[in-house]
Structures are given as C-alpha cells and as structure tokens.
Structure 1
Amino acid sequence: MKYARVIPCLLLRGNGLVKTKKFKDPVYIGDPVNAVRIFSEKEADEIAILDIDASRLGNEPNYDLIAEMAGEAFMPVSYGGGVRNLDQIRRLIRSGVEKVIINTMATESTDLIRKAVDMFGSQAIVGSVDARRKFLGGYSVVSRSATLETKLELEKHLENLVQAGVGELLVNDVDRDGTMAGYDLALVRKVVKSTVPVIVCGGAGTLEHLKQALDEGASAVAAGSMFVFYGKHRAVLINYPSLNNRLELL
C-alpha cells in the first residue's frame, strides 16, 4: 500500500526541543526524548532532528541525547547539525541514526558528501538546503541557520548535491518556517525537478497544505509547528495525522 511520507521535524537547542519562526525566536517546546516517544506511539513515518545551534556555533552533535532519542524511535531517524567530518557521521550512525543530514558543509564543498556516500552509501546521506526568497525574485541559499547568505544558485546547488551522491534532498523554506501558512508552491515546483526524492519543509499548517506540496511533486513532506502546536493559540500538543489521513494525501 502506497502513502505519502509525513515527517515531523524537531529542532534541538541544547538539551531542549524548540520551534522557530522564519528561523528566529526559538520557543521552548519540551523534552525531545519524550516528543520522539510520542511520535513513535503515533506511528510517524520518519522523524528528522535538526540541531539549530551546532553548525552556527561550531558545536559537536550531542551524541548522548541523539542516542537516547533514537532509542525511543520505532521509525527511521535522520539527524543534522554540526556535521563536518566522516568520524561524526560514523558516530551518529552508531548512535542509531539512519540518515545524516548535511547542510552548512555542503555550501562550502561537496567533498564531505562524496566521501560519506562512498563510505556509508547514498541512502544514509541527505543533502539539505535552506532557501530564502530574494527581494527581486528567485531564491537564495543560506546557511548556518540562515545567518549566512551564500552566493550559490539554488537549482545548481541542488544539482551539485545530487551529483555528489545524496540519496535525498531536504529543502527548508526560511520565509515560511513556523508560519503554518502553507508551503511556497513555486519553490516546491522549482526543487522537485531533481532526480532524487525531495522532502519539502517550511509552512505546513493543515493536511491540505501537505497534499498541495505532494500534488506538485514532492516525494515527502516535513513540518514542525503543525505537529507540536494545536489551535489558534498555539498550545503545545504533539499531534500527527492518522494512517487514513495520510492515505488520503495521495
């Protein structure tokens, strides 16, 4: 039976789970281990864990916390944040992570991705890109939690990641992050032309938003606020669509 992959995206800051809006103003949500446990109970397809400070501050991944989170997960876990070398990737995989997400280092060179794919296989490496709409049109690529503007052209950068061997792409929309206003479908259409599966993230607030992105060609949809907030007052509540709801997305 085929259905859409719907992926909760959890943001780590220190030992806590937070949620941002446009990559700014992180709000504390709760204990990340407990959140993973609840998503496991709700039978989430996958879960993505992103440390929003690691690359920006040059920190190592928090291996002990990651291992504890992975130990509660009965679904594939991907992790990104502070990944700079093969030893870190090896240690993350030993901690229980199935896929390692590489973002900031890939904006400087694809060498790490090529070496990681050779050593661990393309299925274990996800190329991640943070995109922001330009004032005069088009999209720019940013890095280090959107604090650094690169000179990379979005589509060319995605193509380079694919040529380096990534098994998937994760495209984060900085402008829509945390807004729950829907995906930027023009951005979705631009990035899904890739020859590898593309996960889109940033802006989802309803099941209809997820369906719109999938209808435009996204291979999977990821969201943060939609799965940790509830109601117009954004009360913290872990939630996730049922299997029947996910089946209806295709």
Structure 2
Amino acid sequence: MLSHRVIPTLLLSKGGLVKTTKFKQPKYVGDPVNAIRIFNEKEVDELVVLDIDASREGREPDYDAIAEFASECFMPLAYGGGIRTVKQARTLFSLGLEKVVLQTAILDNTELISDIAQRFGSQSVIASVDIKRDWRGRAKIWSAAKRKKLDPPWLDKLQEFVDAGAGEILLNSVDRDGTQQGYDNELIATAAKALSVPVIALGGAGKLEHLASVVESGASAVAAGSLFVFQGPHRAVLISYPRYSVLESLFRS
C-alpha cells in the first residue's frame, strides 16, 4: 500500500465528465462509466466524483447514475453534490458508496456532519472546502453554489468541521484548479499543521513532482483532475494513472 493515497477526482455536469479551469470553462472529457472502467484497470486507490451542478441547481444527487457508478467501481468511491440530509446520505451508502463529500450544505449547517458521522462513522464523511485568494493574497472560503467569497475565517471553519466529526478535509484551490501549475502548498501546509484529521490536497497538479511536493507540505492524500485526464501541451483528453511502482518511488524520494 502506498504511503499516500492518489485520488482521481471527476467532475460531473449534465451527465458527462468535465474539467474546469479556475471553476470556469468546463470542457467535456468523456463518459463517467468509461472513465471508471479505465481507472479500475489502472488499480486506482480511491475515486471521487463531484456533481458540480447539483447544489447550485438545488437538486438531489442523481441516484440512478450513482448506482451505476458504484456497480462499476472496484475501488472505494466517494460522491459529493446536492447532499443536504442524512436520508440522502443513507441512500448513497446503500448504493455502495464508501464516503460522502459535503460542502455547500455544511457551510450553513455543521450539524449535518455530526448527524452523518454519528450514524455511519467519521471515516465516511469528507468535508470539502474551496479556497480562493483575494487581491491581497488572503485565503477566503469560496461558495461555488453562490459564486462568492464568504466571511468566516477559513481555518476556523475547517476546525469547526473537524470538531463536528468530519474524518477528512478535501481542500481545493480555486485559483489553481485546472492550471496544472502546482498545488497551493502554503495553504495545505497551514491546514495540515492545524488540523488533527487527514488533509486531501486538490487543485493544480500538472506533473508527478507536484504530488510529491504537496505531500512534503503535509498533505495526507493528493487528489487531481487534469493530471489524469489531459495529456501534452494541447491538453488532449486521455485518461491515465501512474503505475504503482512509479508512485511508490515518488513518495520514497
């Protein structure tokens, strides 16, 4: 087993997979079931699927689609998007999911974390936070559903999620999303030092060295989208995943 999990993160929009840049300009990259089958063959550690439209549109998860994803997926699967109640989480777990990813709902209702964690265990709850820096470089929580920065200090909010029972924090940099220029290592280091649960870094991976760098900054796991769906300077769509031996050497060096 690798010392650090390497997690492809797939963005779902209108039934297809897309990849964004700084949360804008979604580019279609393929069918989710086909992608899952490829990642099965690559023996991926874990997979995250995020419906980027559900919360903004005020709708529930697409249970039929998620059931299909879960039936095809040979690795642990986490899903986020439109989850607002324990009942919805229960339905998702019954379909075969290992974890739920909570974001929009918990910005206003931290109790949702506690309610789900008490019933299904903290290990089943990932609290996801998007961070966008302002013109002075200060990190701010970004609400993708409301499309605006929020006032609460970001690190205090993360600690609140941990105190409520979140088993992991998925920390995503809006400014790095899709750029393939590297993670916001400073952001990850600050969170990892302050929090008692694993921090998953997301946003900015463009080469394997970026994974090693953010792990050195304190990330317990690394997640990426563009790195695993684009190839070459023209960003041709080609789903890939490094061999186990390559990743093993990467985290050993």
With the length of structure 1 as denominator, give the TM-score of the two structures: 0.97
Partner of 1:238: 239
Q: Which residue type is aligned with residue 198 of structure 2?
A: P
Structure 1 residue 244 displacement after superposition:
0.8
SS at match of 1:249: helix
Partner of 1:23: 23
Structure 1 residue 241 displacement after superposition:
0.8
Distance in 2 between residues matched to 1:212 and 1:145, nearest whole Å: 30
Distance in 2 between residues matched to 1:232 and 1:245, nearest whole Å: 22
SS at match of 1:192: helix
Partner of 2:201: 200
Structure 1 residue 191 displacement after superposition:
1.4
Distance in 2 between residues matched to 1:107 and 1:89, nearest whole Å: 17
SS at match of 2:93: helix
Task: Name structure 2 gaps, 5 residues minimum.
Answer: none
- Tell me how many residue pairs correspond in the alignment: 250
1:213 has 2:208 as partner: no
Distance in 2 between residues matched to 1:181 and 1:132, nearest whole Å: 16
Distance in 1 between residues matched to 2:3 and 2:118, nearest whole Å: 30
Distance in 2 between residues matched to 1:237 and 1:2, nearest whole Å: 24
Q: Deviations over 1:32-90 (max 9, x none)?
A: 01101100110010000000000111111011111111111111000000010011101
Q: CA separation of 1:43/1:121 partners in 2, compared to 1, >3 Å: closer, same or farther?
A: same
Please say if residues 139 and 154 of structure 1, whose CA atoms lie closer than 8 Å, have aligned partners that are also in contact.
yes
Structure 1 residue 160 displacement after superposition:
0.3
Structure 1 residue 149 displacement after superposition:
2.0
Please say if residues 188 and 199 of structure 2, whose CA atoms lie closer than 8 Å, have aligned partners that are also in contact.
no
SS at match of 2:101: strand
1:20-59 superposed matches below 5 A: 20-59=20-59
Please say if residues 132 and 149 of structure 2, whose CA atoms lie closer than 8 Å, have aligned partners that are also in contact.
no
With the length of structure 2 as denominator, give the TM-score of the two structures: 0.96
Task: Name structure 1 gaps, 5 residues minimum.
Answer: none
Identity among equivalent positions (%) equals: 52
Distance in 1 between residues matched to 2:104 and 2:151, nearest whole Å: 13
1:148-163 superposed matches below 5 A: 148-163=148-163
Backbone CA RMSD of aligned residues: 1.1
SS at match of 1:141: strand
SS at match of 1:241: coil
SS at match of 2:205: coil
Runs (4+) of structure 1 moved beyond 4 Å? Answer: none
Q: Deviations over 1:155-187 (max 9, x none)?
A: 101100100011111001100000001011111
Partner of 1:124: 124
Structure 1 residue 109 displacement after superposition:
2.1
1:133-152 superposed matches below 5 A: 133-145=133-145, 147-152=147-152
1:165-204 superposed matches below 5 A: 165-193=165-193, 194-204=195-205
1:81 has 2:81 as partner: yes
Please say if residues 48 and 78 of structure 1, whose CA atoms lie closer than 8 Å, have aligned partners that are also in contact.
yes
